[in-house]
Amino acid sequence: MDTPVSAHLVVFLLTLGISVFASPFQRARKQSPQKEANRMAFYMAQGAYTAEALATMAKNPQDRSVPTRELVQKLGGRLIGFYFCFGEYDFVAIVESPDDTAAGAGSLAAASAGHLKAIKTTKLFSVEEGMEMMRKAGSVTFQAPSPG
């Protein structure tokens, strides 16, 4: 029985150290390796457009990743991905930013343009960082409120 070409490609890529199963965050880390101390943080920005902005874009479709990328770069960061989505928010942007201040400034600058009715920025942590948090949490205790 012949092995599909795609399986051969996956094996070949893995031997080169390229994981086809890597997350966008892992691929971004490999594309711009930095010393641990200088590593930039990832943020997820979720936004909801106003009715007026949605009506404008329906009449004149626009690639909103372009101005988003430009804003992020002006603040020293990098846009990893920009996605439209269903639900409470209309888009999600994954950003690598030098610090919380730059990430916050990006959200404030985007919101101040007036085309968003909501924006939410969330700092993201790698699996390794999450595991370190778990180890630290496991090494301490906290007193819960006592019943009255």
Q: Is 51 exposed, middle or buried (0-12, 13-18, 19+ CB in 10 A)?
A: exposed
Segment 79-85 mean pLDDT? 97
Domain architecture of the chain: domains with CATH: 25-136 (3.30.70.920)
Q: Over 50: is that where the pLDDT of 94 sits?
A: yes
Q: Is the dihedral of CA 21, 27, 31, 34 positive or negative?
A: negative
The mean pLDDT value of the chain amounts to: 84
Predicted TM-score of the model (pTM): 0.71
- Give the pLDDT band (50/70/90) at residue 11: very low
pLDDT above 90 as % of the chain: 72
Dist CA 47 CA 111 (whole Å) = 9
